[in-house]
Structure 1
Amino acid sequence: MPELSLSAGSVLDLAPADVVECAAAAGYDLAGVRLADPRREAPAVAAALARTGLGLLDVEVVRLGPAPLTDHHRALADAAATLGARFLLTVADHDDEALAVEQVTALIDHLRSSDTRVALESMAFTGLRRRADAERVARAAGARVLLDPLHLHRAGDDLGAPASEVVGYAQLTDAPDASPGTDLAHEARHLRLPPGQGGLDLDRFLTTLPADLPLSVEVQSDALLETAPHERAATLLAATRTVLTRRS
């Protein structure tokens, strides 16, 4: 079974350091954190990683706008490197592909002395809408991509397309198969379902991925916010393992 990470998005009601503690208590192999104030929050995350022995899969999220990298972008990259994160999750909020390559290359240069890789995520409501868009930029800049089956499905991408050499990791989530309408961002941030409880063809998606590719469990769900974070994390881990047993 691949390494499983508790995504920050699944427990946004927790502080970043508490996400690490929650992931460890629930039995995940890794955790991911979303840092609003990386310089202030990183030390507590580092302490939690040391206490639990957990690894850090990713730090979120660099949002690239139509301007040069900002101090906040660089602070996120510095935190990811210092914390030993495998990936710095990055999203392009503009559709200038040449600029995106330039920005991602600058991030990679900033991280040159670390083992942290930049990972681009495509979403139908961002500048890199399709998987192919993210992969073009990743290849040109020397980055990786993150695959999310919900975003792929809503953008019209084939969940059964083979994983390319630039895929760094993937997320596991679910959602009703029927389109939610035009507000895809709202669905992604509020209406996700635990893996295996929706209409996405996760079995087909998983067959395209290397067996050892890390998986981040990301289920941003207003309905699940009614349960305590630790209970939610455990429920999502159990659902994920059930889906994964069908692949083995």
Structure 2
Amino acid sequence: MNRPLSLAALTVLDLSPADMVSCAAWAGYSHVGLRLNPATPTEAHYPTIGDTPVIRDVLARLQDTGVKVLDIEILRLKPDTRVTDFEAFFETGARLGAQHVLLAGNDPDHARLVDNFGATCDLAARYGLAAHLEPMPWTDVRNVAEADTIIRAAGRDNAGIIVDPIHFDRSGDTIEGLAAIPPSRFRYMQFCDAPAARPTSTEEILFQARAERLPPAEGGLPLRELLGALPAGIALSIEVPQMALARTVGPFQRARRLREACQHLLASC
């Protein structure tokens, strides 16, 4: 089975969006993930919303390489969120041919979060996009069960959940718990490994997740079990930031090594 493999933006944040496309092509990926909105104040920010020179460069690279955009990120649902403000983001994603949108839930008011998520799904649907909540243990959607509760309450067909192995493990989610969730919720997943020992502080969890993950099969996360529990052939977004390694190994080489590690693991499943 030809499983789509995507190079996640976090893996190669040292590259511009257009160079991420070139990197994905060079390293053998079929897809790429693009970060149109920065996730933190400290990372590089590019003018990526609307008809900008950066977006025109990305479009040219996509056309030249044949790489496709799997997902765009990141939107945060906060107490002061106005969903209409997301329209230019979705419009840009549709122009790039993206399939999915990654969202984080950063609002402790459950009812408001459900309403804003539902409205976001409706707006995304107008542009042919699916909206996916990514559970992260430091957010207000801490685990897969909480994400599913929000999606059930919102009741939108284009809603989904992103399973990220490191967040899945650190939040205490279980393989058995996935069985209670309809498979249609899962359209793609992120892929990485990490040490089996769980960090003891939120600061350490954040650092490991954002800066120092491990290639597939080099840690202690239940990757084979996750693959077996999720829909067969689900697209994998390889998200493995390695900031220490990045000081000596370039992004193109890192991306290729990660793709090879992922394919080696898949071949053994």
Instruction: Report the TM-score range of the alignment, normalised by the length of the smaller protein.
Output: over 0.9
Percent identical residues? 38
2:44 is aligned to none
Residues 1:217 and 2:230 are matched in the alignment:
no
Gaps in structure 2 of 5+ consecutive residues = 38-46
Residues 1:81 and 2:94 are matched in the alignment:
yes
Structure 2 counterparts to residues 160-179 of structure 1, below 5 A: 161-162=178-179, 164=182, 165-179=184-198
2:167 is aligned to 151
Structure 2 counterparts to residues 3-22 of structure 1, below 5 A: 3-22=4-23
- Measured in 1, the distance between the counterparts of 2:33 and 2:10 equals 9
Report the secondary structure of 1:181's partner residue: coil
Q: 1:112 Cα shift?
A: 3.0
Q: 1:72 Cα shift?
A: 5.4
Q: 1:67 Cα shift?
A: 1.4
2:263 is aligned to 241
Q: Deviations over 1:3-22 (max 9, x none)?
A: 11000010000111111111
- Measured in 2, the distance between the counterparts of 1:139 and 1:78 equals 26
Residues 1:190 and 2:216 are matched in the alignment:
no
Conserved? CA contact 2:195–2:221, under 8 Å = yes
Given candidates 55, 61, 64, the residue that maps to 1:48 is 61
Report the secondary structure of 1:111's partner residue: helix
Given candidates 93, 97, 102, the residue that maps to 2:110 is 97
- Measured in 2, the distance between the counterparts of 1:159 and 1:197 equals 20
Residues 1:118 and 2:131 are matched in the alignment:
yes
TM-score w.r.t. length of structure 2: 0.87
Quote the RMSD (CA, aligned, Å): 1.6
Q: Deviations over 1:44-95 (max 9, x none)?
A: 2222211111111000100111113267533322211221211011101122
Conserved? CA contact 2:83–2:119, under 8 Å = no
**Stretch deviating more after TM superposition (73-82 or 49-58):** 73-82
1:200 is aligned to 221
Conserved? CA contact 2:71–2:101, under 8 Å = yes
Report the secondary structure of 2:126's partner residue: coil
**Stretch deviating more after TM superposition (26-35 or 40-49):** 40-49
Residues 1:133 and 2:152 are matched in the alignment:
no
